Chain A
Amino acid sequence: MNLNFTAQEKDFQQEVQQFLQEKLPKGIAEKTKNALHLSKDECNVWQKILHKQGWAGINWPIEHGGTGWTPTQKYIFANECAKAGGPDVIPFGLKMVAPVIYTFGNDEQKQRFLPDILASNVWWCQGYSEPGAGSDLASVRTTAVKEGDEYVVNGTKTWTTLGQHADWIFCLVRTGEPSAKNQEAISFLLINMNDPKITVSPIITIDGRHEVNEVHFDNARVPTVNLIGEEGKGWTYAKVLLTHERTGIARVAISKDRLVQLKALAQTSPDGDNKLIDDAIFAQKVAQVEIDLLALEYTELRTLSAISTGQAPGPESSILKIVGTQIIQAIDELYVEAAGYYSMPFVPQQFHDDFDGQSIGPDMATNSALRYFNNRKASIYGGSNEIQTNIISKAVLGL
């Protein structure tokens, strides 16, 4: 048993550090560190820099332009990025639809879609949830009826993150007979959003932000060649994707960096004649989250160590999403507490691409409450934490 990186892994760590120092634009790093809004352009700039380096497709197979990194390399990269302020890539193309395309798509689809995803030429969004289907995805009602070499799509998708910027949407749609069993009638369809029969309407969330949307399909026509795999298998493909890639799901690296910054902040924030960190109760709350995060980091490392030594990840990997989101939310809450009165002023300009950085009160206070509000979503999306708990109960505990 040991904690050490190998010489090659240490070299890799240095390479990543050097890359971030030289190539990560300072403005993007600063915004990321302060958890501020990044424009679509800034997201593109960063992914294109990664792509040029060959590091955009972290989980992708090498033959499609992926890195082929080991789990330990991915862990190192995530940690160095978080420390340096390298933002997360937008996941919908790179991490969500691409694995479905390279795993279940045909050669034509791979050639047509993958290079543009890797290079950030085309933006994707996810069409899973519907007004009547949230955690219960198997009950989607959007229909795709075959007419010749086209599907005619009708229905509504919702909670579509960044749908206002997306060129394409990947959807779970109902293709089978209405009498077919729920899951067996669901198919996985790629849809070009450049179609007047598709309309996107914004949903403003509690943080005052336009991040999610409703997407309406009114007799939209989609070529049948855009179907992934077979009709009726969409549910299987989506599920494989949900359970496939666990590295990074706990977002330990980002939480670690957020805590380091929170502690630095508490050491300088005045509390009358004292500093905030001198408040025993606040310090204790910070310590408890830090300890829980340390435990989670080793839960992730246990998974990683198992994979690197050629074993299957143990049952501990199933808790990563639940505990990871609990910790993200606990840290956000501590930032609000640290901001005190200045957690209250509402600065909606911060979500505009041309925000001049003018905040009310200390910089860190600007989005403390809004981030806390926004991240309540973390325990809801991707299968709510209650659904995750059901999954562990069934799959791990055998109940």
Chain B
Amino acid sequence: MDFSLSSEQQMIQDSVSKFILNDYDFDTRRKILASATGFSQENWHFFAELGWLMLPFTEEDGGLGGSMVDLMIVMEEFGKGMVVEPFIATAVMSGGLIALAGNQVQKDDYLPRIMAGELQMAFAYAEPQSRYQLNNVKCSAIENKGEFVISGQKSVVLNGHHADTLIVAARTSGQTNDHNGISLFFVDANHPSVKRTGYANVDGHQAADIWFDNTPTLGLLGEQDNALPAIDNIIDKATLAICAEAVGAMQIAHDRTLEYTKTRKQFGRTIGSFQALQHRLVNMFIEHQQAKSILLMAALKMDSNNGHDAKALSAAKSRIGKAANLVGREAIQIHGAIGMTDELDVGHLFKRLTTIQFLFGSTDVHTKRFAAL
């Protein structure tokens, strides 16, 4: 048993960490959020240049490894800077699905463009009625003369507004709740029959609601009627990514709050000298440490189980959701009124720590899933 990083992993961590420190400070991020696209194209190319977009892929697929521990390392650093570039939507989810379910032609077509930073993608799976049930798919794909056309609505599709190509989960047979009968399709996001309403989420990430109306596809991805296992697998992978992001964000939220209590004075002394606040800061520290530990557990177990371990992953999401909730709220409370302001990063960390609790399955959903497995 050895939890130390390999020299390659140490290098990745150092380079992402350096980028966050030097090139992704809070003001830079604010400017990126206010820009037309809501993320930085320049950063995206930089990620590609440094090979970070190759990290989620195996060497066989032209990538740099693709282990969950690698993903964890990058995402934890991204979490510290609250990076909004669509790494999860394009590289982890869409690229991940292609690597997992795609044929060689599809891999050769899409993966190099994703890794080169030339292609933006999004995975459209959730629907207004489905909440977190991945098998609940109403959106239909009907075959007509050997070609499928898709109709229906997809909710809060991450990077949905800026994606060039979408991967859409649609029902090709069976009833809305059936586990069988779901298929994945490539769809040209700019096709006239696709209506997209883009928006920014409360955490600054870009998303869209998308309507399809007899929309033609660019082809089937994976096996017809049997896409659920791949969807499950890739949502779990993306969940690990945001768990790691949360652990990074929690660390900064705790650091900032701790620094503040050491300088802020009330009643003639620093507020960090009050035991009521000291104990709350220790609780935040404990939550962060427990979150970090269970993240490591999930990444290692997924890696030693071919990339997928639903029970370990759900344990992590459940525990990290609970920690993110406490650390986020306490960071605001201990800062006091200044923590409520838009100009301080703490509020933004709080917002991202909040959305992570409800992304890819809430804390309760994952607790229930853990208990059932």
> Which residues of chain A have a CB within 8 Å of any CB of chain B?
1-5, 72, 280, 283-284, 286-288, 290-292, 294-299, 301-302, 304-306, 308-309, 311, 315-316, 319, 322-323, 386, 389-390, 392-393, 396-399
A338: min CB distance to chain B, Å: 15
Q: B4-15 toward A: CB 8 Å interface, digit per residue (1/0)?
A: 111001000000
- Chain A residues within an 8 Å CB radius of B364: 284
B60: min CB distance to chain A, Å: 21
The answer on a CB contact under 8 Å between A316 and B293 is: yes
Q: Which of B3, B296, B364 has the largest count of A CB atoms less than 10 A from its CB?
A: B3
**A264 to B6, alpha carbons, bound, how many Å?**
40
Stretch at the interface among B86-94, B120-128, B284-292: B284-292
- Chain B residues within an 8 Å CB radius of A299: 289-290, 293
- Chain A residues within an 8 Å CB radius of B5: 1
Given A3-B301, A291-B370, A294-B294: A396 and B4 within 8 A (CB)? no
Main secondary structure of the interface of B (DSSP, over half): helix
The answer on a CB contact under 8 Å between B296 and A302 is: yes
The answer on a CB contact under 8 Å between A393 and B371 is: no
- Chain A residues within an 8 Å CB radius of B278: 389-390, 393, 397, 399
Given A284-B367, A284-B368, A299-B290: A393 and B4 within 8 A (CB)? no
The answer on a CB contact under 8 Å between B275 and A397 is: no
> Which residues of chain B have a CB within 8 Å of any CB of chain A?
1-6, 9, 69, 258, 261-262, 272-273, 275, 278-279, 281-283, 285-286, 289-294, 296-297, 300-301, 304, 315, 318-319, 364, 367-368, 370-371
The answer on a CB contact under 8 Å between B1 and A319 is: no
Q: Name which residue of chain A comes closest to B258, CB basis.
A: A397
Given A291-B315, A299-B289: A304 and B294 within 8 A (CB)? no
The answer on a CB contact under 8 Å between A295 and B294 is: yes
Q: Which of A1, A283, A393 has the largest count of B CB atoms less than 10 A from its CB?
A: A1
Given A294-B294, A294-B297, A305-B1: A288 and B289 within 8 A (CB)? no
Given A294-B315, A389-B279: A284 and B371 within 8 A (CB)? yes
- Chain B residues within an 8 Å CB radius of A302: 3, 292-293, 296
Residue contacts A-B, CB under 8 angstroms, 26 given? A2-B2, A2-B304, A3-B1, A3-B304, A280-B368, A287-B368, A291-B319, A291-B367, A295-B294, A295-B297, A295-B315, A295-B319, A297-B293, A301-B293, A302-B292, A315-B285, A316-B293, A323-B286, A392-B282, A393-B278, A393-B282, A396-B285, A397-B281, A397-B285, A399-B258, A399-B262
**A294 to B1, alpha carbons, bound, how many Å?**
16
The answer on a CB contact under 8 Å between A5 and B1 is: yes
Q: Name which residue of chain A comes closest to B270, CB basis.
A: A399
The answer on a CB contact under 8 Å between B296 and A386 is: no
Q: Which 9 A-B pairs have the closest CB atoms?
A: A298-B293, A287-B371, A295-B294, A305-B3, A393-B278, A295-B290, A299-B293, A298-B297, A316-B289
The answer on a CB contact under 8 Å between A296 and B300 is: no
**A287 to B290, alpha carbons, bound, how many Å?**
16
- Contacts across chains A and B counted by CB atoms under 8 Å: 124
Q: Name which residue of chain B comes closest to A280, CB basis.
A: B368
The answer on a CB contact under 8 Å between A399 and B290 is: no
**A298 to B320, alpha carbons, bound, how many Å?**
14
The answer on a CB contact under 8 Å between B296 and A298 is: yes
The answer on a CB contact under 8 Å between A319 and B289 is: yes
A264: min CB distance to chain B, Å: 15
Q: Name which residue of chain B comes closest to A288, CB basis.
A: B367
- Chain A residues within an 8 Å CB radius of B262: 398-399
**A4 to B303, alpha carbons, bound, how many Å?**
12
- Chain B residues within an 8 Å CB radius of A5: 1
Q: Which of B5, B69, B289 has the largest count of A CB atoms less than 10 A from its CB?
A: B289
**A380 to B189, alpha carbons, bound, how many Å?**
61
**A344 to B101, alpha carbons, bound, how many Å?**
57
Given A286-B371, A291-B315, A399-B273: A305 and B2 within 8 A (CB)? yes
A42: min CB distance to chain B, Å: 34
Q: Which of B2, B6, B282, B290 has the largest count of A CB atoms less than 10 A from its CB?
A: B282
**A390 to B3, alpha carbons, bound, how many Å?**
29
- Chain B residues within an 8 Å CB radius of A311: 4
**A308 to B286, alpha carbons, bound, how many Å?**
23
A75: min CB distance to chain B, Å: 9
Q: Name which residue of chain B comes closest to A317, CB basis.
A: B289
Q: Name which residue of chain A comes closest to B320, CB basis.
A: A295
The answer on a CB contact under 8 Å between B4 and A309 is: yes
Q: Name which residue of chain A comes closest to B9, CB basis.
A: A1
Q: Name which residue of chain A comes closest to B281, CB basis.
A: A397
Q: Name which residue of chain B comes closest to A391, CB basis.
A: B282
Given A283-B371, A397-B282: A292 and B3 within 8 A (CB)? no
Given A1-B4, A288-B367, A397-B258: A319 and B301 within 8 A (CB)? no
- Chain A residues within an 8 Å CB radius of B367: 284, 287-288, 291
